[in-house]
A and B are shown apart, each in its own frame.
Chain A
Amino acid sequence: MTKQASALILEDEPIVAFALEDMLFELGFEEVRLATTLEAAFDYLEARAPDVAVLDVNIRGQRSYGFAEKLSGSGVPFLFATGYGDAEHPEALRATPTLTKPYNQDELKAVLATLTDPQ
């Protein structure tokens, strides 16, 4: 976990984002950047690629799939955390690990583990 020093959160709900931020710190991340808009997320990625990213799917009415693909292209592992329990991701992103809100720290940890330690 210590290798994953940097995390990027894309979440437009600040209260939820803060909780996630706290969890990530608890899980040992040294840096957590929080984007509440897609625009900010792209800016952060442009500035510096994180080691891992947690994406809400619906960001102010827009899907975050475009950004997700950008992350894929950049080789950044990521997971989705969404309130849409049974929503289907697009074909290319269907295999992306997805947490359904609400989730707890243990669930987050388990999913993050699959990202960094693929079986």
Chain B
Amino acid sequence: MISTVHPEDKPALIAAIEDAIERRGPYAHQYRVRRTDGSYYWIEANGRVDAGPDGRAVSFPGVLLDIQERRRTETALRASEEFNRRILASSADCIKVFDLDGRLESMSEGGLSLMEVDDFTSIRGAYWPDFWQGDEKAKVVGAIDKARRGSTGRFRGFATTMKGSPRWWDVLVTPINDAEGRPEKLLSVSRDVTTMIEAEASLRETTRRLDAILNNTREAVFLMDHKQHCVYANAAAEKLTGYRFSELEGRPLHDVVHHKKPDGSHYLIEECPIDRAFPERAQMSDEELFVAPDGSFYPVAFTASPLVDDEGNPIGTVLEARDITEEKARDDELQEQTRTLETLNRTGAAIAAELDLERMVQTVTDAGVDLTGAQFGAFFYSMLHEASESFKLYTLSGANRAQFERFGMPRATPVFKPTFDGDGAVRSDDILVDPRYGKNAPHFGMPKGHLPVRSYLAVPVTSRSGKVIGGLLFGHSEPGIFNERHEKLMLGVAGQAAIAFDNANLYREAQLEIEQRRKAEEQQTLLINELNHRVKNTLAIVQSLAQQTFKTEVPTDVARGAFGARLNALAAAHDLLTRRNWEKASLSEIILSSVAATAGAASGRITCEGPDVILLPQTAVSLAMAIHELSTNAIKYGALSNDTGAVTVVWQISSGQGQPRILLEWKEVGGPPVAPPARKGFGARMIERGLAADLSGEVALDFAPTGLRCFIDAPLPEA
């Protein structure tokens, strides 16, 4: 029998038999036996060793059982249990088995590791709720209760590991039922969710912060998806656009707030710089005009940034936007202020340096137009034209002179008078409805075709002396153009202009005075030279007179008397010419003056008659000297030497052929009989040759016995 036993099982079988013999009792042993076909099969030998009275084994009653099938089932079962154990071991969760009171019976390998248990025996049989602290304990007790009653207990709780590491656990407690379906044990699966809990907390914190930022920032923030459809808009975005997020959601933002241009034309999304950020994957910042729900426009500053995934692919756009209406207004205001200051500065510098009145006033007028935004401006002098009673236009800006002059100049009407009276600025938003306007004939307002003025601003330009120099007038065809600021600016400019006027006038006066002084000096030099010349000529004449008077054949006392008389005559002629500025003298004046100087009281007996004839100074001197000689002769020897004689001097102009001639006759009557002189002296020489030469004519002396006569026939002097 032993020979068919599997060689591996033989030693054990023999040992079992020997053991049984030794013990004298039942035995059981399993081993493999070879069949006749060579295969082995499991049998179990159950028997008993019966001993004789001597204690020796005498028999082996027993049975052999074929246990092939049983052995196979047991092997399968063992394999299944092993598998289950491995499943448990492979789980990362902490899997535990408790009795129904919650006392720990076993724990999976993963569980030991998670809970950081070095020695399971130290916690075997421990009451599970004791592993938890505070409020968590109650959750555990509750879950145990639930499972004990056949349902599933679940909770999330916090507990430390055996080594004190903090952990969050997601715990599931289920009953393990017996064959009758009643809970026999409890199974707990605890999963470590610490990382998840922390991530959730972190996410919550991030979300809370983002919400805090997005809901409190005054910057409008929009989020657009890859189709540029709005998927988010914060509170500021709703406030900016005037739309609720629900009205924007899922729609292209461009279509809602950016669909048209100020000219009303459609704004293609392809042209829109905001939407370019997405396809071009680049951040865009600029200013645009958004459309309000009522269709009006408002300016915004925006930044559009592409939103990309981890691989850098664009998946949407973040748009920040801000209403910059006020900023723009402030910027505009600032620019306006800057421009104003620059203009003022430039104007001030220009007119301070400008001494040319016209250029200065032009600069001021141009600056006024620039500063007030007027369409045209003008400066009028305050002095009135006597005939038209209108103010005089001086400079214009923004219009040409013809446009003004066609309609005549402003007059002292209620609109204009305050300006030219220096009563401060006149400003009207619409002069057409101004109570001061349209009160005067003939136009009762602006003449037809006048430059169209609605807005009107005028300021006086008043000199330091208080005199109103003129007025700066500005106009615009739109009403409401000029404000208080413009008025103040122009009053300032007018002040500068007044100073410049005063300066320019002072300068002009100074220049004029310098020029006058220069001319006076030139004149003086000329006069001194001329005086020198005349004095020398006169001295030459006096010297010549002396030379001709003091001749050896003439007694000295006679000559002295004649010389004195001749000097007197010369002086009288000079007196007369001096009174006439050495320009010209009339014939009758020369004769009368010479006669008066020579004849004294007897001059009343000399009568003159003839038309007025003008003589050059030199001719006048020659004539005066000739008359002196004639008069002297008449007093000494002729008609004036007695008490009854008389002299007539008659002349006339003959206007025959050629140049007119003067015919003059000196005629003495009533004197003693006349005889020709024995010797011709200076007098005859002066009369017959000197005067003749000077007049370029003929002079004849006729010593007629009835009285001396002197004839002059000469071309009428061209004076």
Do A and B come together as binding partners? yes
When the two chains form their complex, are residues B536 and A15 in contact, meaning their CB atoms are under 8 A apart?
no
Which residue on A lies nearest to B696, using beta carbons?
A37
24 residue pairs A–B, Cβ–Cβ below 8 Å: A13-B537, A13-B541, A14-B694, A15-B548, A16-B537, A17-B690, A18-B685, A18-B686, A18-B689, A18-B690, A19-B544, A60-B616, A83-B540, A84-B536, A85-B532, A100-B536, A101-B536, A101-B539, A102-B539, A102-B540, A102-B542, A102-B543, A102-B544, A104-B543
Residue from the list B533, B686, B694 in contact with A83, Cβ < 8 A: B533
**A36/B544 in contact, CB under 8 A:** no
CB pair B536–A14 under 8 Å, yes or no, is no
Q: Are B622 and A19 in contact (CB under 8 A)?
A: no
Give per-residue flags for B678-697: 1 if the beta carbon is below 8 A from chain A beta carbons, else 0. Answer: 00001001100111011010
- Chain B residue contacts of A22, Cβ below 8 A: 547-548
Instruction: Give the distance in Å from the alpha carbon of A40 to the alpha carbon of B541 in the complex.
Output: 22
Partner of B691, one of A13, A14, A34, A37: A14
* Residue contact A83 to B536, C-beta cutoff 8 Å: yes
Of B547, B618, B625, B694, which one neighbours A19 at CB under 8 angstroms? B547
Point out residues on B near A: beta carbons under 8 Å: 529, 532-534, 536-537, 539-545, 547-548, 616, 618, 622, 625, 682, 685-686, 689-691, 693-694, 696
Q: CB < 8 Å: which of A12, A102, A104 contacts B618? A: A12
**Contacts of B533 on A, CB cut-off 8 Å?**
58, 83-84
In the bound assembly, the distance between CA atoms of A66 and B529 in angstroms comes to: 23
B532 surroundings in chain A (CB, below 8 A): 83, 85
Complex contact B544–A15 (CB within 8 A) = yes
A100-B536, A101-B536 known; A14-B547 Cβ under 8 A: no
Chain B residues within an 8 Å CB radius of A17? 690, 693
Q: How distant is the Cα of A60 from the Cα of B685 in the complex, in angstroms?
A: 21
Given contacts A13-B541, A14-B689, list 13 more A-B pairs with CB under 8 A: A15-B625, A15-B686, A16-B541, A17-B693, A19-B543, A19-B548, A23-B547, A34-B689, A83-B533, A83-B534, A101-B536, A101-B540, A102-B544
Contact A16 B693 (CB under 8 A): no
Residues of B within 8 A of A101 (CB): 536-537, 539-540
CB distance from B17 to the nearest CB of A (A): 179
Q: Which of A1-53 contact B (CB under 8 A)?
A: 12-20, 22-23, 34, 36-37, 40
CB within 8 Å of B: which A87-113 residues: 100-104
Decide yes or no: A60 and B536 within 8 Å by CB, A16-B541, A19-B544 being known contacts: no
Interface size classification for chain A: 20 to 34
Known interface pairs A83-B536, A84-B533, A85-B532; A15-B541 also in contact (CB < 8 Å): yes
- Closest chain B residue, CB of each to CB of A39: B696
Chain B residue contacts of A18, Cβ below 8 A: 544, 548, 682, 685-686, 689-690
Are A14 and B537 in contact, CB atoms less than 8 angstroms apart? no
- Contact between B686 and A16, CB atoms less than 8 A apart: no
Docked-complex contact B694 and A15, CB < 8 angstroms: no
> Which of A16, A34, A100: most chain B Cβ within 10 A?
A16
Chain A positions within 8 Å of B548 at CB level: 15, 18-19, 22
Give min CB distance, A118 to chain B, whole Å. Answer: 27
Smallest CB–CB gap between B552 and chain A, Å? 12
Query: Would you give the shortest CB distance from A80 to chain B, in whole angstroms?
Result: 13
Q: By the criterion CB–CB under 8 Å, are B536 and A85 in contact?
A: yes
| A10 CB to nearest chain B CB (Å) | 11
Q: Report B-chain residues with C-beta under 8 Å of the C-beta of A37.
A: 693, 696
On whether A14 and B693 interact (CB within 8 A), knowing A19-B548, A22-B547, A84-B533, the answer reads yes
Which residue in chain B gives the minimum CB-CB distance to A104?
A: B543
Docked CA distance A9–B541 (Å): 16
User: Are A60 and B618 in touch, CB under 8 angstroms?
Assistant: yes
Q: In the assembled complex, which residues on chain B have CB atoms less than 8 Å from the CB atom of A13?
A: 537, 540-541, 618
Q: How far is the CB of A92 from chain B (nearest CB, A)?
A: 23
Q: Is the CB of A34 within 8 A of B693?
A: yes
Shortest Cβ gap from A34 to chain B (Å): 7
What is the CA–CA distance of A35 and B536 in the complex, to the nearest angstrom?
A: 21
The 4 A-B residue pairs with the shortest CB-CB distance in the complex, in nearest-first order: A14-B690, A19-B544, A101-B540, A83-B536
A103→B625 CA distance, assembly (Å): 22
Q: How far is the CB of A82 from chain B (nearest CB, A)?
A: 8
Asked, given contacts A19-B548, A83-B533, A84-B533, whether A14 binds B686 with beta carbons under 8 Å apart, the answer is yes
Contact partners of B536 in chain A: CB under 8 A: 83-85, 100-102
Complex Cα distance, B685 from A4, in Å, reads 25
Q: Of B536, B682, B691, which is in contact with the most chain A CB atoms at under 10 Å from its CB?
A: B536
The minimal Cβ–Cβ distance linking A7 to chain B, given in whole angstroms, is: 16
Within the complex, the shortest CB–CB distance from B620 to chain A, in Å, comes to: 12
* In the complex, chain B residues whose CB is within 8 Å of the CB of A34: 689, 693
With CB as the reference atom, state the residue of chain A lying closest to B566: A15
Give which listed residue, B534, B542, B693, contacts A36 with CB less than 8 A: B693
Nearest-CB residue, chain A, relative to B619: A60
Q: How far does the Cβ of A86 sit from chain B's closest Cβ, in whole Å?
A: 9
Report the minimal beta-carbon distance from A52 to chain B, rounded to whole angstroms. Answer: 20
Contacts of B534 in A (CB 8 A): 83
Which residues of A lie under 8 Å from residue B537 when comparing CB positions? 13, 16, 83, 101
Q: Which residues of A contact B689 (CB under 8 A)?
A: 14, 18, 34
- Given A15, A58, A100, A103, which contacts B545 in the complex, CB threshold below 8 Å? A15
